[in-house]
Amino acid sequence: MHEIYSKTAPEADFSQVKRIEGFENIQAENSAYLSDESKLSAKPFDYLFFPKSEGELAAVVKWLNRQKIPFTVAGARTGLVGGCVPQEGALISLEYLDKVIEVYWDEPSGEWRIKAQTSVSLKNLDSMLRVKQIPLLEQSPDEVIRRHYADFREDIDQYFYPPDPTEMSASLGGSVVTNASGARTYRYGPTRAWIRGMRVFLPNGEYLDIPRGKYTASPGGQFVVYDSKGGARTITIPDYPQPRTKSTAGFYTAPQMDLIDLFIGSEGVLGIVTSVDVALLRHEDKVSIIQFMDSDEQAVTLADALRTEDRIQLDFLEFYSGNALDLLRRLQREEPSTVGMPPIPENARAAVFFEMSFDPHQEDLDFSILEAVINGCGGSLERSWAGYESRELDRFKVFRHMVPETINSIIAERKKQYPDIHKLGTDMAVPDGHMREMWDLYRSRCEALQLEWCAFGHIGNNHIHVNILPRNLEELEKGMQLYEVFAQRAVELGGSVSAEHGIGKIKAKFLKYMFTPEQIEQMRSVKNALDPQNLLNPNDIFPVEVTA
């Protein structure tokens, strides 16, 4: 079915919605809303709204519509491309929509699912699942919800939500509209693979309930959305092919695609997701291993060997370059307790970090295939760190996240001298077989320009984040030029300019490397169909110069 009807939510009293008016007041009392993790700064805007229910959200959106005020929507503000940083009009923070609604067994698919509001953080979701305790459901006045929750508690197995975009303070809804991926995407795919349903408010203030599998595009590639007043909008899905890598650049499209997939990864420019149904997976015990190697090249070789060895199933496969390890070493000397790990071995010049299933109670562990692969690449299991208790897995995870956090703090320090300096972090993925070529390009160009840089990230998906740390404005300029060189090459190899961070405001200029003007116009017409006044997140994805 390609036709869907939007509904109206019982509208709340607009005057009762919590808000701050006036940019000066917002600056004075709520400066956190002036930026996100990208560190992009907001331009003056006039209203900051905090709806506490869908009814309040509908009231706010309808009021903004009547006033023709453009509005930006924020979740946990952990995005890296400035998507939720307003440039005008109003900002709607969804932070109060933070309740788990239900946990239920879906018989046809044989899986447990959780329905939750958009601003439940991934961290809270994870904690609730770890202890299988969701107090709100236990105390629910709805007998069915209490019963489903009791059934879930009685299931002897543990369950988890597989997407793991490292930044666990991210909101669930934010992770959906950005189709967040991360380390575990290597095994479990991106967020898209785990979304079973959503409620999304359209820019006109009405909402759609979209279960996966119900609404698919017509053979001609169209959806029709009818509103409560009898109006109809036709969405024609773009016809460009998806890159053969993970990608968050541009709208998802596929022949006879599911409507839900149009909203997943759309960066919030098509609608406001207020609740999501996600699938859970049975938990298995894991071991995390950080394997130290003698050189970056050796580590790239090992990653390739692990990826192509069919008998080894890893959950994730990550990379630290030698200069990334050096950053951590420096931090270890200055703040050993912050790092929380023993000193990184002096002779380690790169590392590969992976996780796999592991039964700690099994006496005869056979990891001879793994050992042979590592030895074959010049490494040794004796030069590794391993952890399997959940506190150990957490400790390793914190360590993994420490490289980008250290880079952010170095850049913040440099900003004091050069306010225009910012981090240059690549987010490009290339198809299988091209990682080494891309790595050689990254390394040789950064070294040739004598830039300070390091690399880390999802080598299993051929997706390494190269981070350039400019020491002055001249290096910033050189770095930005280099970034374009990298982006062009990644696209030439069939990859994506934005594998996971999205386009937002900061990376809009790179869209032209991946898409022709006609293809960008196809995306634009999808946006126009749902948001003809261009009020919702108006400055994201579509840069002014392309649309002008």
Partner 1 sequence: MKIVVCVKQVPEVTNVQVDPKTGTLIREGVKSILNPFCEYALDHAVRIKDRFQDVSITVVSMGPPQARDVLVRSFELGADEGILITDRKFAGADTWTTSLTLAEAIRTVVPDYDLVLVGKQAIDGDTAQVGPEIAEILGLPQITYAVDVTLTSTRRQVRVTQEVEKGYEVIEATLPALVTCSKGEVVRRAPSFKDVINARQKPIRLVSASDLQIPEEQLGLQGSYTQVVKVFPPPAKKSSLLLQNLEAADAAREIFGFLREKRFVE
Positions in the binding site for partner 1 (CB under 8 A): 28-29, 131, 287, 289-291, 336-337, 339-342, 360-365, 367, 380-392, 395
Residue 378: CB minimum distance to partner 1, A: 16
Q: How far is the CB of 130 from partner 1 (least distance, A)?
A: 9
- CB of 31 or CB of 516, closer to partner 1: 31
**Could you tell me the CA-to-CA distances from 546 to 221, 501, 541 in Å, in that order?**
24, 21, 10
Smallest distance from the beta carbon of 388 to partner 1, in angstroms? Answer: 7
Residue 27 Cβ, how far from partner 1 at the closest point, in Å? Answer: 13
Alpha-carbon separation of residue 348 from 296, 322, 355, 389, 501 (angstroms): 10, 7, 19, 25, 29
Nearer to partner 1, 287 or 327 (CB): 287
The Cα–Cα gap between 93 and 75 comes to 6
Distance CA 222, CA 232 (A): 12
For partner 1, give the closer residue by CB, 206 or 318: 318
Spatial contact of 383 and 345, defined as CB atoms under 8 Å apart: yes
By C-beta, is 22 or 360 nearer to partner 1? 360
What is the smallest separation between the CB atom of 389 and partner 1, expressed in angstroms?
A: 5
How many Å apart are CA 510 and CA 184, to the nearest integer? 26
Question: Least distance from C-beta 364 to partner 1, angstroms?
Answer: 8
DSSP code of residue 541? S
CB closer to partner 1 out of 3 and 29: 29
Distance of CA 306 to the CA centre of its chain: 25
Residue with tokens 């970090």: 353
- Minimum distance from residue 361 beta carbon to partner 1 (Å): 7
Which one, 343 or 419, has the nearer CB to partner 1? 343
CB 92 within 8 A of CB 46: no
Which is nearer to partner 1, 211 or 343 (by Cβ)? 343
Q: Name the residue nearer to partner 1 (CB basis): 118 or 384.
A: 384
First to last CA, the chain: 35
User: Is the Cβ of residue 348 or residue 430 nearer to partner 1 in the bound state?
Assistant: 348
Tell me, what amino acid is at 399? F
Asked if 352 and 457 count as a contact pair (C-beta separation under 8 A), the reply is no
Shortest distance, position 341 Cβ to partner 1, whole Å: 6
Residues of 15-50 as b/e, b for ≥16 C-beta within 10 angstroms?
A: eebebbeebeebeeeeeebbebbbbbebeebbbbbb
Question: Alpha helices, DSSP H only, in 81-134?
Answer: 122-131
DSSP 500-528: SS--TTTSGGGHHHHS-HHHHHHHHHHHH
Give the CA-trace dihedral at 79, 83, 84, 85, to 10 degrees: 110
Q: Is 365 exposed, middle or buried (0-12, 13-18, 19+ CB in 10 A)?
A: exposed
As a whole number of Å, the CA-based R_g of the chain is: 24
- Whole-angstrom Cα distance, residue 374 to residue 305? 8
Q: Which residues pair with 5 in a beta bridge?
A: 226
E strands of 94-145, at which residues?
A: 100-106, 111-117
Instruction: Report the amino acid identity of residue 274.
Output: T
191 vs 291 by CB, closer to partner 1: 291
Question: Taking the complex as a whole, how short is the minimal distance between the CB of residue 333 and partner 1, in angstroms?
Answer: 12
Nearest approach, Cβ of residue 371 and partner 1 (Å)? 8
With contact defined as beta carbons under 8 Å apart, do 512 and 546 qualify?
yes
Q: Do residues 70 and 534 lie in contact, with contact meaning Cβ atoms separated by under 8 Å?
A: yes
Output the smallest distance, CB 50 to partner 1, in A.
Answer: 15
CB of 289 to partner 1, least distance (A): 5
The owner of tokens 């309930």 is: 209
- Measured from the CB of residue 135, what is the shortest distance to partner 1 in angstroms? 12
Choice between 268 and 387, CB closer to partner 1: 387
Smaller CB separation from partner 1, 153 or 244 = 153
Pick 136 or 381: Cβ nearer partner 1? 381
From the list 275, 309, 311, 146, the residue with the least C-alpha distance to 199 is 275
